[in-house]
Amino acid sequence: MGKLKLAVLISGRGSNLQALIDACAAPDYPAEIALVISNVAGVEGIERATNAGLPVLVIDHKKYPSRAEFDLEMTQAIEAAGVELICLAGFMRLLSEEFIDHWHNRMINIHPSLLPAFKGLDVQARAIAAGARFSGCTVHYVRFDMDTGPIITQAAVPIHTGDDADTLAARILLQEHIIYPQAVRWIAEGRVMIENQQAIVDGADAPTAAVINPLP
């Protein structure tokens, strides 16, 4: 059985791309990156992909008269590469309904909050302002409504007294780099099933202990 072929879509530094590159370097990892697409030229993620010897395309959304035409160009490139799963990794463009439907249950995203809380942008500042005790990150299948879709896995990160958006985001990012490759592994191993709009991971157990913040 061959490895699951991935396309990773980026718009910036590509730190989650790097986490996937590092995971794919392990001989027993069941996926490989077949294509990296950036909608922005000159970003650090392109350098990361090039250094890893990966095929890279820059598809500048500003050169297309409509979102549908931009998305069609991406679909044609992704299909030509034989891709089976799309991983959004800091891809800062809203995708058309046609693109999302075409890749239904074949596209995942990582979001830096514990969805369904704090969708959208500036999530860490919003979590701190709301007085939340935890933030975190979520890997989920993509649906048309922003930051929705069946949740595959999450990591909870406690918010510390004195945290600002940057310090909290830095701790969350470390967890993103763990759970994104893990989610891809589960999908590649055929362990993730969608039932009643929920992602079920075969053989995965929930932790038994609760986490309290702040501690008494």
H or E, element range at 138: strand 134-141
Per the DSSP assignment, residues forming a β-bridge with 85 are 6
Query: Distances in Å between the alpha carbon of 166 and those of 128, 163, 173?
Result: 11, 8, 10
The yes-or-no answer on residue 111 being catalytic is: yes
Cα torsion at 152, 73, 52, 166 (round to 10°)?
-50
Catalytic residue selected from 104, 111, 140, 160: 111
In angstroms, the CA 133 to CA 104 distance is 34
Cα torsion at 93, 99, 103, 107 (round to 10°)?
10
SS (H, E, C) 111-135: ECCCCCCCCCCCHHHHHHHCCCCEE
- Give me Rg for the CA atoms of the chain: 17
Residues tagged active-site: 111
